[in-house]
Amino acid sequence: MGKVIVQDYTYKKPIMMIGVEAGICWGANTSNDEKNYLRGIDCLESGHGRTFEFPDVYLTLEGYSARVIREWYTHIGGLPTRLQASTRYIDYEHGFGYVTPPSIEGNPEAKEVYEDLMEHIKSYLESLDTIGVPREDSALGLPLGMETKIVCKHNMRNLMDMSHQRMCNRAYHEYRGLFNDVCDALGNYSEEWKYIVDHYFMPKCKLMGFCSEKKTCGMMPRKQ
């Protein structure tokens, strides 16, 4: 599995930030840190979602497949921004890293075929490089399983919404693992982020108390 790094630009006291911003709008005294924190908790418990958009999270995601990062990009709420490692600068001679899914990792025969497939791709890409094809063109042959790296910025509300979908037991296993890594990284970043992750990052069935999916994993009862 890959690695998630919370960049230092991420504010360590998001609950305090929410309390200050809400307090300004409410005409409250924002000079008291304890009151700001309690006001932030009140906003969280009351579901005042607009206030959740103030804390920004800066992340580095590396070692995940291009496929799962492509799906990460589909979450556009809160106007996230990101940069991805260029495919122009991959050294075909030394190859590229790739993700091996558990269904293949645990099957020796399948793993041999999969690794042979990746080696063939590397070999053919190196051949295209040798005969002068620009890497921006030969890169079209790179597999979705190739490891990649991105830097991205999301607000807290966007990440909370993502968690409701991507922490579901029916979500693609690599994405579920990626989001659990995001939760672990944020939980280790500061006490306030740990509180938010522990209480508000969860599958939507836990949030609602029932499963709204047509195909359920069985963790929560279907909505009647």
Among residues 3, 14, 5, which one has the least CA distance to residue 56? 14
- Whether residues 20 and 76 share a domain: the answer is yes
- Whether residues 19 and 114 share a domain: the answer is no
* Global confidence as pTM: 0.93
Using DSSP's 3-state secondary structure scheme, residue 86 falls into coil
In a domain, 128, yes or no: yes
In a domain, 192, yes or no: yes
In a domain, 52, yes or no: yes
- Measured between alpha carbons, how far is residue 50 from residues 14, 44, 95, 157, 223 in Å? 13, 10, 45, 8, 28
CATH of residue 202: 3.30.1360.170
Cβ distance 148 to 68 under 8 Å? no
Residue 109's domain comprises 91-141
Q: Give the span between the Cα atoms of 49 and 54, in whole angstroms.
A: 10
How does pLDDT run across 107-142, given as a tens digit for each residue?
999 999 999 999 999 999 999 999 999 999 999 999
- Whether residues 26 and 105 share a domain: the answer is no
How does pLDDT run across 53-112, given as a tens digit for each residue?
999 999 999 999 999 999 999 998 777 899 998 887 777 777 799 999 999 999 999 999
